[in-house]
Amino acid sequence: SQKIEQNSEALNIQEGKTATLTCNYTNYSPAYLQWYRQDPGRGPVFLLLIRENEKEKRKERLKVTFDTTLKQSLFHITASQPADSATYLCALDGNGSSNTGKLIFGQGTTLQVKP
């Protein structure tokens, strides 16, 4: 069955360091993968979308890579700040390569950036 896995253990890092979060998937051939940020008691906020033909995408301090051979995406936050502390979710379209908008989410990784 289709599965998306993120490291469920919280990631604690020091301010200024680079945070790297991992998203692995099985039994999918996604056309794109998305990353969202979720703060406690709030809905997710869209961060980045990367397509299957893109190896890397950047937005300010954020960088996402997408390896369709390894079936893995890495999400990096450089020069991390305490305000980056949140849960980060990766998501795929549940219908794989087609675009239905029906997202399947990983369980999320909670990032804690310490000053």
For residue 49, the minimal CB distance to other proteins (Å) is 6
Task: Using the structure block, give the residue that is written with the tokens 């692995």.
Answer: 24
22 binds other proteins (CB under 8 A): no
89 binds other proteins (CB under 8 A): yes
Smallest CA-to-CA distance from 58 within 76, 82, 32, 33 is with 76
Restricting to residues 95-114, name those near other proteins by CB under 8 A: 99-108
Of 15, 17, 45, 114, the one binding other proteins by CB under 8 A: 45
- Secondary structure string (H, E, C) spanning 79-114: CCCHHHCEEEEEEEECCCCCCCCCEEECCCEEEEEE
Determine the distance from the C-alpha atom of residue 71 to the mean position of all C-alpha atoms in its chain, rounded to a whole number: 13
59 binds other proteins (CB under 8 A): no
18 versus 107: smaller Cβ distance to other proteins: 107
Q: Which residues bind other proteins (CB under 8 A)?
A: 32, 34, 36, 41-46, 49, 89, 93-94, 99-108
